Structure 1
């Protein structure tokens, strides 16, 4: 498939690199430095130019393209790019937008703006935040198989009961599979004798109930089993959608917004949320409003710097968990290193969603792990798959070593993958796959 990606920023570059292994990818960007970096670092054809220009799109081969992905940081540019591309033929268009109002318009009107598929960065980010807050000690959570399966990543604290244990010793949950450990930034496949150390991250795949139960073994004593008192700092679009989603779950979050006009608007739009107009960096105010007793504080302002400050202040006054939105992906690890419990990068969430959609048909769902070091994939097994009609202990020998079968669902029922389990055509299988073996695995399964 020939794919044109407009925008070589963090989102566009991630998408281009992810697709380049199996597709013919061309990238367009107005920044010559980004074009040069992508060309030399990833050996991807990149063109300097404006993606809204028909001439530039024609230079990139839009007439022969199967798909165009508009992923710049400007909503209007992305929409115009898709509309321009549609004038050349029936290329499939994907637009990334921040403003969920565009998504609402697009949803109500088929193919509005000349867009075939739209991704709302802010709404995706809010969903990620709510999933993470709902699971004690988790730093990443993704649903698979229509919610029957969860993938979750947990930070292992020094006082955690599984520190020093092998994976075999820690694996006490029937419907849970240890997929991998992240040790000093490197993803390591979890084997029975792999030892879990403090500071590691553990990636597990299982039923939501088993993942919830496991979370209690890695959560610190101060972490609540169920976060109910949640404070959102920042009435940004992400902050608004986060509070709205929490309301939909039956919670009554508190939201702190410094701008009075924005605060009044939020109070009208969020009837189930207590909106407070104040500066969230005022420690006396935070303590006076008992923010220190909150189960979680979510820093969702439009400033990375303020989000870091808010999350550190919250930890300093005793908040159990902090989640911060980090627009600049390269700072996410820094946020977590200095004390923020979870840093969520909207651009990474967007790239993941778009890559997932481009692989539909072969892949039902996916999650990118640790900067694309690995992927968690959901596939529907067909008769030609090496997995079909055979017990796992037999079929797994034909797969590379960097693969773990994490879960199986059949007819909307969860099946625990064990050595004698026979996978059937039509089953949905959730796999953990190391990036360096992804291509051969996809050919086999």
Structure 2
């Protein structure tokens, strides 16, 4: 399929890099230097031009394109690009926007503007932060099968009860599947005799109750509810995060230094205490008992500021810190110096968009460990290698690096076992090593 990506920022580049091996990708950007760099760094056709102009889209081959992804840094331009693409045919269009209000307008107008799907980056990021915040030691949380299934990546601490145990010993849950263990640069499929060590990241797939139970157990306590939430920064992501917590019954605190923005947040967030101050002021943080927070979310405009705030919170004794980062290359650095979770809005957005480039039966995708593996939800058809066979037999035809994590059948969760028979129409959640993803996608 020909995919046209308009906008070669971090989101566009990430999408292009993910698709270059499996699709005919054309990237359009106004900047000549960026276009030249892409020509040599990725296996894509890079074109300099304005994606809002039909002539540029025609040069990119809009008539043959199956998908147009508009992900420039301007919301209005992205909407116009989708509208222009529609004038040339029935191409499926996706617009990335930052403002939630634009998403609400599009949703309320029944997919207007020539946009088939709209992704709100700030809202997606806020939702990701909220999901991660509810589970101790969680590094990443994704929902599948309409919320029936969770995929979570957990960090195993040195004092965790499951450290130095095998997967079989740690697996004490009725509806949980251990998918993989990441140890430094190594990925280990979670067989029963695989050992779990301190410092590992463990990926599990299962029901929300079982995942929550595992989360409680690996940190030695069953009293890890998040109640006191402090959000630093009234940026759009900070605002949306506070709103997300409010909508789930929390009463967070939000710190914003700029007077007008603080006032605006206070007016729009009735259940949030908004404090106007500099969050890098250690005396203020101590005076306001930020050290008693269960979690501090750093959502300022700037990676360095978010790192500083997170480190200050850590120094005060905050249990858990989440930082928003714009540069994905900083993620490992943040976590190395003690920040619990680093969330990259552009990676979150790219992940949401990429699923539209896969088979029609792919319902959802989660990228794990920065594209080293994926967890995908697929509706199984009659021709799938899994259909009508016991899992123990069907998986012999799949390459190494594949784990069937959960099955949703008619709205009910089925925990996969060797004797489980998969039926047409089942929604199967599968962990797949990125190295064998193309092969697996063709047969399941």
Q: Deviations over 1:191-243 (max 9, x none)?
A: 2222222211111101111100111122266x951101111111111111111
Looking at structure 2, the residues matched to 386 and 66 of structure 1 have their Cα atoms a distance apart, in angstroms, of 27
Looking at structure 1, the residues matched to 45 and 253 of structure 2 have their Cα atoms a distance apart, in angstroms, of 48
1:213-228 equivalences in 2 (<5 Å):
213-219=213-219, 225-228=224-227
Q: CA deviation at 1:66?
A: 1.9
Contact 2:161 2:220 in 1 (8 A): no
Mean Cα displacement is larger for which, 199-208 or 184-193?
Answer: 184-193
Contact 2:361 2:380 in 1 (8 A): no
1:177-196 equivalences in 2 (<5 Å):
177-196=177-196
1:34-433 equivalences in 2 (<5 Å):
34-219=34-219, 225-359=224-358, 361-433=360-432
RMSD, aligned CA? 1.6
Q: Secondary structure at the match of 1:202?
A: strand
Q: Secondary structure at the match of 1:417?
A: coil
Q: Secondary structure at the match of 1:429?
A: strand
Looking at structure 1, the residues matched to 226 and 347 of structure 2 have their Cα atoms a distance apart, in angstroms, of 25
Looking at structure 1, the residues matched to 422 and 90 of structure 2 have their Cα atoms a distance apart, in angstroms, of 39
Q: Secondary structure at the match of 1:83?
A: helix
Looking at structure 1, the residues matched to 357 and 109 of structure 2 have their Cα atoms a distance apart, in angstroms, of 22
- TM-score (structure 1 length as normaliser): 0.96
Q: Secondary structure at the match of 1:261?
A: helix
Q: Secondary structure at the match of 1:159?
A: coil
Q: Deviations over 1:141-171 (max 9, x none)?
A: 0000111110000111111111111222222
Contact 1:296 1:320 in 2 (8 A): yes
Runs of 4+ in 1 over 4 A off after TM superposition: none
Q: CA deviation at 1:33?
A: 4.1
Looking at structure 1, the residues matched to 35 and 427 of structure 2 have their Cα atoms a distance apart, in angstroms, of 39
Looking at structure 2, the residues matched to 346 and 224 of structure 1 have their Cα atoms a distance apart, in angstroms, of 30
Asked if 1:25 corresponds to 2:25, the answer is yes
Q: Secondary structure at the match of 2:195?
A: coil
Q: CA deviation at 1:416?
A: 1.2
- TM-score (structure 2 length as normaliser): 0.96
Mean Cα displacement is larger for which, 304-313 or 357-366?
Answer: 357-366
Q: Secondary structure at the match of 1:242?
A: helix
Note closer, same or farther for the CA distance 1:137–1:428 as it changes in structure 2 (3 Å cut): same
Contact 1:352 1:366 in 2 (8 A): yes
Mean Cα displacement is larger for which, 15-24 or 411-420?
Answer: 15-24
Looking at structure 2, the residues matched to 127 and 400 of structure 1 have their Cα atoms a distance apart, in angstroms, of 34
Looking at structure 2, the residues matched to 389 and 304 of structure 1 have their Cα atoms a distance apart, in angstroms, of 50
Looking at structure 2, the residues matched to 354 and 92 of structure 1 have their Cα atoms a distance apart, in angstroms, of 12
Looking at structure 2, the residues matched to 400 and 38 of structure 1 have their Cα atoms a distance apart, in angstroms, of 33
Looking at structure 2, the residues matched to 10 and 323 of structure 1 have their Cα atoms a distance apart, in angstroms, of 21
Q: CA deviation at 1:273?
A: 0.9
Q: Deviations over 1:346-373 (max 9, x none)?
A: 0000000011234362201110112211
Q: Deviations over 1:73-132 (max 9, x none)?
A: 222332232233233233221111111121112112234333221100000000000000
Q: CA deviation at 1:62?
A: 1.2
Q: Secondary structure at the match of 2:377?
A: strand
Mean Cα displacement is larger for which, 327-336 or 19-28?
Answer: 19-28
Looking at structure 1, the residues matched to 376 and 385 of structure 2 have their Cα atoms a distance apart, in angstroms, of 16
Contact 2:374 2:433 in 1 (8 A): yes
Contact 1:180 1:187 in 2 (8 A): yes
Question: Which structure 2 segments of 5+ residues have no match?
Answer: none
Looking at structure 1, the residues matched to 279 and 18 of structure 2 have their Cα atoms a distance apart, in angstroms, of 39
Q: Deviations over 1:282-319 (max 9, x none)?
A: 11111111110100000111121111111110000000
Q: Secondary structure at the match of 1:114?
A: coil
Alignment length (residue pairs) = 444
Contact 1:185 1:370 in 2 (8 A): no
Question: Which structure 1 segments of 5+ residues have no match?
Answer: none
Looking at structure 2, the residues matched to 133 and 323 of structure 1 have their Cα atoms a distance apart, in angstroms, of 8
